[in-house]
């Protein structure tokens, strides 16, 4: 009798265990495109490493989130062993943390918010609300402000909030260059610096990381770096700590950083989805958009020559042009249409000012001298500008693997 009771108990536990996983769909190369990318449903997908301890800590919350969203949002998971599936979705290393990606309305975007049940469920409900209103042609509701404010009042602050707990991981162990302000909330000079610091951080996005640490709250780090007055600004660069010696306007901060940054070639980022376009292009003051020939018309050697030409042009103009991106011909049809690119053939190029909603097209040769002449015409205000269409839809495209293109044979078809 005792054994039967014990057996019954274990059977119940197994059924409950299976039920807790039932709301998460296991995705793989065989079912991913059919279930997710071709679906009309909204999906929240976790790309994870099964060996990661952080993922196992998050897993129980993710199961709870899936149960809460059941019937509203579909929730799935992709194991990192499916490397090509991660690569096709432009998913970075997932060994430390699972990457969450939202698939909605034939578009996808990496989720970068909080991972608590409350935060994720609330965000996904806002995605559902936005899609329904879009389909019904209703005006979107104004989004409420988050409960916890970032270092700036701007909800999309470029300044990263630093604490005693995250400082070492974000700043010291990142391998990136950081400019950090140690401040006190009651300090008048700090309050005056705040908008300038935020503007400089936006100007320098992609060049240097900028952070702010409240030294009155996070005193351990303030003491470690001998902070005696406010604001104090320090540069953290590859294990070295230096005092900031520039002025306190956004222009002063920007110029000081640009003078110390090594003159390396600018990285030309590929537009692979809405997120990459926003990060590397739309968020910058001025963005250079290049559309290169299809890989079958211009193989890897040819494409790399164009990318190197753009990198050299960018290195000369780091201060003025922060964003440099490229896409393959016809990969981003709406972007090409909005910039009137393609009529002169490929490669093609345009400079976009998203703030003023204008753009300028390169109509001369795509060469070193041609690019120099083009950028000079912009600098001397001789270039003819065109109005930019406000809404540009960016398509999800696979990242180029650096290899030559292969023609598909009739047998493969």
pLDDT at 129: 82
| Domains of the chain, first to last | 20-131 (3.40.30.10), 160-260 (3.40.30.10), 269-387 (3.40.30.10)
Tokens of 139: 């005006």
pLDDT at 412: 56
* Strand-pair partners of 359: 352, 386
Residue among 294, 325, 300, 297 at smallest CA distance from 394? 325
pLDDT at 184: 93
The whole-angstrom separation of Cα 202 and Cα 196 is: 10
Q: What is the pTM of this model?
A: 0.49
Q: Which run of H or E residues covers position 108?
A: strand 107-110
Angle between helices 117-135 and 53-68 (to 10 degrees): 50
pLDDT at 264: 60
Q: Which SS3 state, helix, strand or coil, does residue 115 take?
A: coil
Give, rounded to a whole angstrom, the gap between the first and last alpha carbons of the chain.
63
pLDDT at 175: 81
Q: Which run of H or E residues covers position 24?
A: strand 24-27
pLDDT at 11: 44
Chunk the chain into consecutive blocks of 10 residues (it has 413) and report each block's average pLDDT, rounded to whole numbers.
46 41 84 89 89 75 87 90 82 75 88 81 87 71 40 61 93 90 94 94 86 94 93 91 93 88 78 93 91 95 95 82 93 94 85 94 93 90 87 92 82 57
Residue with tokens 């209703």: 138
Longest dimension (CA), the chain: 93
The whole-angstrom separation of Cα 47 and Cα 82 is: 10
pLDDT at 85: 83
Q: How far is CA 314 from CA 261, 268, 311, 355, in A?
A: 14, 9, 5, 20
């Amino acid at each position: 009798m005792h054994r039967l009771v014990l057996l019954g108990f274990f059977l119940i536990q197994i059924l409950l265990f299976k039920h807790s996983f039932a709301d998460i769909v296991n995705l793989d190369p065989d079912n991913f495109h059919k279930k997710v990318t071709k679906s009309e449903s909204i999906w929240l997908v976790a790309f994870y490493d099964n060996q990661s301890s952080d993922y196992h800590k998050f897993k129980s919350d993710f199961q709870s989130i899936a149960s809460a969203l059941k019937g509203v949002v579909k929730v799935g998971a992709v194991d990192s062993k499916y490397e090509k599936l991660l690569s096709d979705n432009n998913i970075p290393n997932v060994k430390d943390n699972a990457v969450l990606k939202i698939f909605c309305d034939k578009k996808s975007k990496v989720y970068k918010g909080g991972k608590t049940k409350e935060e994720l469920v609330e965000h996904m409900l806002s995605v559902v609300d936005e899609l329904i209103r879009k389909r019904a042609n209703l005006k979107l509701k104004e989004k409420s402000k988050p409960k916890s404010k970032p270092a700036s009042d701007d909800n999309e602050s470029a300044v990263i909030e630093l604490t005693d707990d995250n400082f070492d991981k974000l700043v010291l162990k990142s391998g990136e260059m950081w400019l950090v302000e140690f401040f006190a909330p009651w300090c008048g000079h700090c309050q005056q610096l705040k908008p300038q610091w935020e503007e400089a951080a936006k100007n320098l996005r992609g060049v240097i990381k900028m952070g702010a640490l409240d030294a009155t709250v996070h005193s351990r780090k303030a003491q470690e770096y001998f902070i005696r007055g406010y604001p104090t600004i320090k540069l953290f660069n590859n294990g070295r700590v230096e005092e900031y010696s520039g002025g306190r306007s956004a222009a002063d901060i920007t110029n000081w950083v640009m003078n110390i940054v090594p003159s390396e070639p600018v990285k030309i980022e590929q537009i692979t989805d809405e997120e990459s376009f926003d990060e590397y292009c739309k968020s910058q003051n001025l963005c250079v958009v290049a559309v290169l020939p299809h890989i079958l018309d211009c193989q890897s050697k040819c494409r790399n020559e164009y990318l190197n030409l753009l990198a050299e042009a960018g290195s000369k103009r780091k201060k003025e042009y922060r964003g440099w991106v490229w896409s393959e011909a016809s990969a981003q049809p709406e972007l090409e249409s909005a910039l009137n690119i393609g009529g002169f053939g490929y490669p093609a190029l345009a400079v976009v000012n998203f703030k003023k909603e204008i753009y300028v097209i390169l109509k001369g040769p795509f060469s070193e001298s041609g690019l120099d002449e083009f950028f000079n015409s912009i600098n001397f205000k001789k270039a003819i500008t065109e109005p930019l269409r406000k809404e540009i839809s960016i398509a999800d495209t696979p990242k180029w693997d650096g290899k030559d293109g292969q023609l598909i044979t009739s047998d493969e078809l």
